[in-house]
Structure 1
Amino acid sequence: MADKAATLARPVVERARIAVAIAFGVSGLAFASWISRTPAIRDALDLTNAQFGLLLLCTSVGAVSALPLSGPLVHAIGPHRTVLLGASAVTVGMLAVAVGVAVVSPPLAGAGLLLTGTGLSSWDVAMNVEGADVERRLDRPLMPRFHAGFSLGTVTGALLGAGCAWLGVPVDWQLAVTALLVIASIATAVRMFLPVPARVPGAAVPRSGVLRAWREPRTLLIGLLVLAFAFVEGVANDWLTLAVVDGYRVGDAVGAVAFGVFVAAMTAARMVGGTALQRWGRVTVLRATAVLALVGLALVVFGPTLPLALLGALLWGAGASLGFPVGMSAAADEADRAAVRVSVVSSIGYTSFLAGPPLVGFLAEQVGILRSLLVVLGALAIGLLAAGATRPAGTGSTGDTAGVTQPGGTGQGS
């Protein structure tokens, strides 16, 4: 990779770093702009918690369906075109959700969420592949900070949602304006992505090797890790706002603030995550964050007061922060296999979003929305067990190099 990295001037790579950060941030903004308004969407569509869980499932179905094709797509047309294609799908999907809410049509809103999920997943794989390439070329751990950009986008989206809820701005108008901002921002950012090498005319297009990646034990274990942490994060994304509103009997604006606390904690933890990974290594850090998420979950579910629940949201967010970015970085340890491995890991990880929304929704009908969140305990146990798979595939891996070289191998855990 050293020779490959030397073919591009550092200013070009630095511009790409900024562009990738923008792509992550705008993705988070697009996601949180509607997640933070879930109570308003549920009420506008006149749905029960179980019905709304099924509606949220549309996003997950779209995401999981598109993921297996995302790696080969990135391999074929490059990360920049894939991100732009995904952002276009998200824009159309959000506009469809806005119209669905305006005319009180759950099927139309569901179709919009399906398209939004499809776009977000392909966008996600492509920007992770691009981010891993930039990380290798600059030879320092950047993936947690890129994902911090996503979290910062979600913070912005959550604050936007809270402000709109407080001011009484209709959710359909909020979604429509956000959708237009998304496509305008991404169309500008992808122009600064790393240039894709031109293929020799007439030369055969190399195969992606995606089927072989599905048979690699390490890749599958990393996928299991990402699945676990994605579930921990996804349940909070989908249900924390509603859990606080219904469980603590507060208004929509307070629920949006709770979600903002969660994503703000994720952002802060991801900003310092690179330093922690260099000092203690991937495995130790991931296991520590799983324990932190456990404490936060307990406070949200069993906290007797709203302030304790908000503290729990903060700890939950910090604990869920590094599983996804570290998994992506570990999957992309080897540059020539990065695209397909990231798509395989993402495909496994995103299946958690298929089970999460309806499972919590149905449990909420039986035991209450707060107690239903305890299903996250199973995911945390899986995360603890699968963390060992993130040990670097080779000595040239960025993001954990310092941990590898520490005396006694303490950076890798045991």
Structure 2
Amino acid sequence: MNSVSDTALNKALIAVFTVFGLNGLVFASWAARIPAAAEDLGVGAAGVGLLLLFSAIGSVAALPLAGSVAQRIGTAGTVRAGGITTSAASLVIAAGLHLGSIPLAGAGLLVFGVGIAGWDVAMNLEGADVERRLGRNIMPRFHAAFSAGSFIGALIGAALSFAGVPLSLHLLGILTVVCVVVLIVPRNFLQLPHPAQAPAEGDAPAAVSRFGAWREGRTLLIGVVVLGAALTEGAANDWVAKATVDGLGTSESAGAMMFAVFVAAMTLTRWFGAKLIDRMGRVPALRICMSASLAGLLLFVFAPNVGLAAAGAVLWGIGAALGFPMGMSAAGEDPVHAAGRVSVVSTIGYMAFFVGPPVLGFLGEHWGVRNALLVVGAAMLVSVVFAPAAAEQKAVPKPA
């Protein structure tokens, strides 16, 4: 068993918070200004859905390998590689937007998805390792840092949109920040071999453990729960801004602010929600959250004005807050198999970003974006049904 000093653990804790926050900032820099991207490229809801599909394809292709990469080069190396890849992709996206080239923007989003996927799995693995060593539930707070980064990114996006700053220039500024931070901060990650790299006595080799996770019923069901949670969160990330603009006739900056409202509600719930999980357990917490999310979605879709829609966005954000981090905690409970299981659960969860954008984009063209969001309610119900798969497993270690 590896032990680390309190100082090293605290440094790793701060580093994980920082990397999660930066990841959210990068994501929101794109998500909050999707209407601007649509305008630059001259596409409607279906075209936006197709563009988002490129990013999802990149992520889904990279995620099954991300756990193996993290075991080979470490979580710090994987975060660095993901951040640099994402930055390079942002350059390509910016060029595509500047030139009005859909193929170039799509290619950039494809690579963007690859970089974000590796970064995502690595930071969740490092977060699960820190959480285990701390001995308390902190994964929702890491995801709160992601949401806080998203909130800041959304506010920056709204301000730059209001000021008329081109999205291409916005992305160039963000990638500069990313390059600096991902090269420096991960050096404080736990620089010991990840527990999953060192099989316990009698365990199968690490490679078998990683890919064997695809044959574990509980892991696959956790993936289904995360799939519903990811679609709930991802639909808001991708479409709240545009649904506000198209469905309520607001300005682009007002759409970005609606996205910021959603993210703020999700961030606060993630920060304080760990106590709810500790008190109730994952399964009841998951069911309460997904039910709240469904109520918020319905209010947002049917609201006749911006005020009620904002109230729906708040409730939607509260409900969407804890599903994904609880799924990551459940997948990462056993340190020996964490890399494989987190990779599997992330891959299944990211299918929401693969299927969701084109489906919602297509339906948005015919029903309107707000009405199209109603299909997300079915995913919320699926997560409620399979929530017991994420229950705490208290008997993970170790025979005496």
TM range (shorter): over 0.9
CA distance in 2, matches of 1:345, 1:394: 20
User: Deviation digits for residues 23-61 of structure 1, max 9, x if unmatched?
Assistant: 100000000001111111100101121112101101100
CA distance in 2, matches of 1:208, 1:170: 48
* Aligned partner (choices 143, 154, 170) of residue 174 of structure 1: 170
> SS state of the match for residue 182, structure 1?
helix
Answer with 189-198 or 16-25: which moved more.
189-198
- 2:381 matched residue in structure 1: 381
| 2:15 paired with 1:41 | no
- 2:233 matched residue in structure 1: 233
User: Deviation digits for residues 84-111 of structure 1, max 9, x if unmatched?
Assistant: 1001111011111111101111111111
Matched length? 390
User: Deviation digits for residues 218-256 of structure 1, max 9, x if unmatched?
Assistant: 100000000010001111111110000010000000000
Q: TM-score, normalised by structure 1?
A: 0.92
- 2:316 matched residue in structure 1: 316
Shift of 1:308: 0.3
- 2:261 matched residue in structure 1: 261
Preserved CA contact (<8 Å) 1:75 1:208: no
Preserved CA contact (<8 Å) 1:78 1:196: no
Alignment of 1:94-133 (within 5 A): 94-133=90-129
- 2:294 matched residue in structure 1: 294
- 2:202 matched residue in structure 1: none
CA distance in 1, matches of 2:149, 2:55: 19
Shift of 1:393: 2.2
AA aligned opposite 2:181: S
AA aligned opposite 1:16: A
User: Deviation digits for residues 288-327 of structure 1, max 9, x if unmatched?
Assistant: 0111101110111101111000010111011011010000
CA distance in 2, matches of 1:197, 1:386: 33
* Aligned partner (choices 15, 27, 32) of residue 28 of structure 2: 32
CA distance in 2, matches of 1:208, 1:335: 15
- 1:193 matched residue in structure 2: 189
- 1:21 matched residue in structure 2: 17
AA aligned opposite 2:139: M
Preserved CA contact (<8 Å) 1:86 1:118: yes
- 1:405 matched residue in structure 2: none
The alpha-carbon distance between structure 1 residues 80 and 243, as it changes in their structure 2 partners (threshold 3 A), is: same
Shift of 1:208: 5.3
- 1:221 matched residue in structure 2: 221
CA distance in 1, matches of 2:26, 2:333: 28
Unaligned stretches of 5+ residues in structure 2: 199-204
Preserved CA contact (<8 Å) 1:269 1:321: yes
> SS state of the match for residue 207, structure 1?
helix
Preserved CA contact (<8 Å) 1:72 1:208: no
Shift of 1:186: 1.4
CA distance in 1, matches of 2:298, 2:163: 32
Preserved CA contact (<8 Å) 2:40 2:97: yes
Alignment of 1:306-385 (within 5 A): 306-385=306-385
CA distance in 1, matches of 2:33, 2:8: 38
CA distance in 1, matches of 2:133, 2:229: 27
Preserved CA contact (<8 Å) 1:135 1:142: yes
Unaligned stretches of 5+ residues in structure 1: 398-414
CA distance in 1, matches of 2:312, 2:248: 13
CA RMSD of aligned residues (A): 1.6
CA distance in 2, matches of 1:283, 1:105: 46
The alpha-carbon distance between structure 1 residues 330 and 110, as it changes in their structure 2 partners (threshold 3 A), is: same
CA distance in 1, matches of 2:346, 2:208: 16
- 2:201 matched residue in structure 1: none
- 1:55 matched residue in structure 2: 51
> SS state of the match for residue 97, structure 1?
helix
AA aligned opposite 2:59: A
Shift of 1:75: 1.4
- 2:142 matched residue in structure 1: 146
User: Deviation digits for residues 62-88 of structure 1, max 9, x if unmatched?
Assistant: 010000000111111111101110011
AA aligned opposite 2:224: L
CA distance in 1, matches of 2:111, 2:192: 27
CA distance in 2, matches of 1:169, 1:221: 44
Answer with 188-197 or 338-347: which moved more.
188-197
CA distance in 2, matches of 1:197, 1:303: 51
- 1:244 matched residue in structure 2: 244
Shift of 1:212: 1.1
The alpha-carbon distance between structure 1 residues 266 and 93, as it changes in their structure 2 partners (threshold 3 A), is: same
| 2:90 paired with 1:90 | no
CA distance in 1, matches of 2:286, 2:100: 43
CA distance in 1, matches of 2:88, 2:282: 38
Preserved CA contact (<8 Å) 2:281 2:392: no
The alpha-carbon distance between structure 1 residues 247 and 195, as it changes in their structure 2 partners (threshold 3 A), is: same
Preserved CA contact (<8 Å) 1:58 1:113: yes
CA distance in 2, matches of 1:207, 1:305: 54
CA distance in 2, matches of 1:206, 1:133: 17
